[in-house]
Structure formats: C-alpha cells, structure tokens
Amino acid sequence: MQLNSQIDPCVWRECWNPPLPDGHNLRFISDGFPTQFYHNVTYKCLEGYYFAHNRSQHDFEIMCRETGFFGAPIPWPSCKKGTYFTHI
C-alpha cells in the first residue's frame, strides 16, 4: 500500500504536562487538556501559602512555546506557609 504524498504530516501544536517543581508549594490551573502554543498556564500558591518574594502576588503565568515545552522561570517562584497574627 502506498501512502498519498499530499497528506499533511503530523504537526505538534501543544504542550503537555506543565512543570511543577518539587518543594515550591505551587499548583497550576488546568482544564486537563494540552496547552496550545503561545497560550499560558497559570500558577498559584497552595491554599494557606503565599509567594515568598511578594506576599501580595496572586499568581504568575508561563507560556507554551513552539518547541512543545513550557518556558519556565529562572528561578522558580516559591511559596511559604502563611502566618496569621491576631491582635490581643
């Protein structure tokens, strides 16, 4: 059987499995589907944690690049357990 030479080859257009570095207490928001090139994945701290470098930051994004991999920040932001003070 001879294949038709006019059939388009498979072209990769998505990134799979956003990276999640150990020990940074992060989570990413996902619909469970691959992320298309030039689209972002949003990261947040785990519940009860805050960004160590900026407590008021809520999230950050990384982009799916045309290589099929996400452009990871260097260094990765990390989150620390929140401390709440009560007034006596």
Residue 31 domain-assigned?
A: yes
CATH number at 46 reads 2.10.70
What is the rounded distance in angstroms from the CA atom of residue 19 to the CA atom of residue 42?
11
| pLDDT tens figures, 39-88 | 999 999 999 999 999 999 999 999 999 999 999 999 999 999 986 554 55
How many domains is the chain built from?
Answer: 1
Predicted confidence at residue 7, as pLDDT, reads 53
Predicted confidence at residue 21, as pLDDT, reads 95
Predicted confidence at residue 6, as pLDDT, reads 59
| pLDDT tens figures, 6-51 | 555 677 789 999 999 999 999 999 999 999 999 999 999 999 999 9
**Closest by CA position to 21, among listed 63, 77, 81:** 77
Alpha-carbon torsion angle 57, 71, 19, 44, nearest 10: 10
Residue 39 domain-assigned?
A: yes
